[in-house]
Amino acid sequence: GENVEQHPSTLSVQEGDSAVIKCTYSDSASNYFPWYKQELGKRPQLIIDIRSNVGEKKDQRIAVTLNKTAKHFSLHITETQPEDSAVYFCAASVNQAGTALIFGKGTTLSVSS
C-alpha cells in the first residue's frame, strides 16, 4: 500500500529564513497532495494542496512543488514568522476521488524571533 515519508521530523529556523519540508510517496497512482498545519492543541487545517497535473503551486509565502517522476513533493515557506510555528503534515491520496489520504508523520517547525 501507499507509504508517505516526511523529513525532517523537526526543523528550527530564525524568523525571516526559509523552511523546506519534503515528502516522498510510493504509489504512482496518487493524484492529490495536501499539506496541513496543526498548531498546538488545535485541529489540522489545510494550507495548500496540489494535484498531479500541476508541478508547482504558490500562495503568498507558501509554495508546493511536485515531482511525479521521482514521487516526491515539498513545502516551501519563505520569510518565516513565529506564527508559522506548528506541526506540518503532508499527505497523498490512495484513491481517485482523493478522499482516502495517507499522512506523513509530521514536521515540527519552530520559528524563533
Partner 1 sequence: ETGVTQTPRHLVMGMTNKKSLKCEQHLGHNAMYWYKQSAKKPLELMFVYSLEERVENNSVPSRFSPECPNSSHLFLHLHTLQPEDSALYLCASSQRASGGATGEQFFGPGTRLTVL
Interface with partner 1 by CB under 8 A: which residues?
Answer: 4, 31-32, 34, 42-46, 49, 51, 89, 91, 95-106
Q: Which helix (H) or strand (E) holds 24?
A: strand 19-25
Q: Are strands 10-14 and 107-112 parallel, antiparallel or unpaired?
A: parallel
- 36 contacts 91 by C-beta, under 8 angstroms: yes
Interatomic CA distance for residues 5 and 111, integer angstroms:
23
- Which CB sits closer to partner 1, 42 or 58? 42
Q: CB-wise, 75 or 80, nearer to partner 1? A: 75
Q: Minimum distance between the CB of residue 8 and partner 1, rounded to whole angstroms? A: 15
Cβ closer to partner 1: 45 or 112? 45
Shortest CB 48 distance to partner 1, Å: 10
